[in-house]
A and B are shown apart, each in its own frame.
Chain A
Amino acid sequence: MNTPDELDALLAPPQVPADSQLRQRLRDETARRLRPRRTLQVAIIAAALGGCYAAGAGTVWALRSTPAPAVVEAPRNDMPAWRELEQSPQQIELAAEQSDGIDSAKLYLAAARKFARERGDWTAALRCYRNALDMSPEAETMVDPDNDDWLMTALKLSRREEIANEND
């Protein structure tokens, strides 16, 4: 093999195309081997989601299993020292009469609300509301839309007007 023609013939690409069955078989085989990658990815994603779920569930469990801290209810400043809710409005009114200052005002207010809401005794409620306002400083004549009923609102507005007139 010395001539360039012979060498060119040896290096020329052989014309022996692949069998179509081989091509198909290799395509199927390679595609099949690539499929597990997807399965694996799906498994990884599912495991990750499962892990997130487990972490969330674990957090909830941990929070629930932790004993709730004991809550010591401090007496609220706006409430009298004793539990007027367990008593009748008459008893609360009596306690108000025996108290002084702001405590007395709060007890009258509590008694008035009980008379109005539980008994529908608006006369007694009016009496207690008036006493509560008499015992309160001027700031207490501000209308409390969340707690004041129509009677107390009317009394407060009237009282504010009286105060304003006195100042004039």
Chain B
Amino acid sequence: MRDAERVWRERGLRAAVLAGDALAWQTWYDEAFAALDAYVVWRCGGLRDRADDALQETWLAAVRNLRRFDPEQASFVSWLRGIAANLLRNQLRATRRKPTLSLNGELPVVDASAQRERGERVALALAALPDHYESVLRDKYLDGRSVADIALERGGSEKAVESLLTRARAAFREAYGDE
């Protein structure tokens, strides 16, 4: 979909939803759900339970702030992803400050699952990255876009995107290793 067409369509959907059109909201929600879900799960390192919580909070925040959404600035999915990224960053910061306690509040919970530990480390590492690193990794890994495509969208050269990806990977590797 061309950008002008997207803006026109999302502006109409936004107006319809704010006017109380339930069908418009259902359409918009269904269109955006999978993309947002994929992003949140990716940011949560594949931890479904954590992703579900973030997903719920993101949608509720989106509904609360729908009037602020401007289709000229970004697509609806990008806007939702921005909300999710902020929420996750705040959640993970809180998690770092406050170690998880067991139900009796004495001993840290020991998650035996290596998969879970890995997921949490990925989530923390992604949350620690600067936005421009996170976004280029998202374009490459989550959205599966080619370097040429990313370069075209950003108005830069493929070489610059490759360089940015290299630095982003290095930053992620460092953040992941630090955890």
Interface pair A16/B63, CB less than 8 Å apart: no
In the complex, chain A residues whose CB is within 8 Å of the CB of B172:
7, 10-11
Interface pair B177/A17, CB less than 8 Å apart: no
Q: A10-B122, A12-B141, A16-B48 are in contact. Are A31 and B22 (CB under 8 A)?
A: yes
State the Cβ distance, B77 to closest chain A Cβ, in Å: 15
In the complex, chain A residues whose CB is within 8 Å of the CB of B38:
13
Interface pair A30/B20, CB less than 8 Å apart: no
Q: How far is the CA of A3 from the CA of B105 in the complex (A)?
A: 39
Of B52, B118, B173, the residue contacting A7 (CB under 8 A) is B173
The yes or no answer to A26 lying at the interface (CB within 8 A) is yes
Residue ranges of B at the interface with A (Cβ–Cβ < 8 Å): 17-20, 22, 25-26, 29-30, 33, 37-38, 41-42, 45-46, 48, 51-52, 55-56, 59-60, 62-64, 66, 118-119, 122, 137, 140-142, 144, 169, 172-173, 176-177
Interface pair B20/A18, CB less than 8 Å apart: no
Interface pair A34/B176, CB less than 8 Å apart: no
With contacts A34-B63, A38-B19, A38-B20 known, what are 14 further pairs, Cβ within 8 A? A1-B176, A2-B173, A11-B122, A13-B42, A13-B141, A14-B46, A16-B51, A17-B37, A22-B52, A22-B56, A23-B37, A31-B22, A31-B29, A35-B20
Chain A binding surface SS class: helix
In the complex, chain A residues whose CB is within 8 Å of the CB of B55:
18, 22, 26
Interface pair A11/B19, CB less than 8 Å apart: no
State the Cβ distance, B42 to closest chain A Cβ, in Å: 5
Residue ranges of A at the interface with B (Cβ–Cβ < 8 Å): 1-2, 4, 7-8, 10-14, 16-19, 22-23, 26-27, 29-31, 33-35, 37-38, 41
- For B64, the closest partner residue in chain A by CB is A33
In the complex, chain A residues whose CB is within 8 Å of the CB of B25:
30-31, 34
Q: How far is the CA of A31 from the CA of B20 in the complex (A)?
A: 9
- For B118, the closest partner residue in chain A by CB is A10
State the Cβ distance, A9 to closest chain B Cβ, in Å: 10
Q: How far is the CA of A2 from the CA of B176 in the complex (A)?
A: 11
In the complex, chain A residues whose CB is within 8 Å of the CB of B59:
26, 29-30
Q: A1-B173, A17-B37, A18-B37 are in contact. Are A31 and B26 (CB under 8 A)?
A: yes
Interface pair B63/A11, CB less than 8 Å apart: no
In the complex, chain B residues whose CB is within 8 Å of the CB of A4:
169
Q: How far is the CA of A41 from the CA of B173 in the complex (A)?
A: 51
In the complex, chain B residues whose CB is within 8 Å of the CB of A10:
118, 122, 172, 176
Interface pair B29/A7, CB less than 8 Å apart: no
Q: How far is the CA of A165 from the CA of B55 in the complex (A)?
A: 107
State the Cβ distance, A35 to closest chain B Cβ, in Å: 7
State the Cβ distance, B66 to closest chain A Cβ, in Å: 8
Q: How far is the CA of A4 from the CA of B140 in the complex (A)?
A: 14
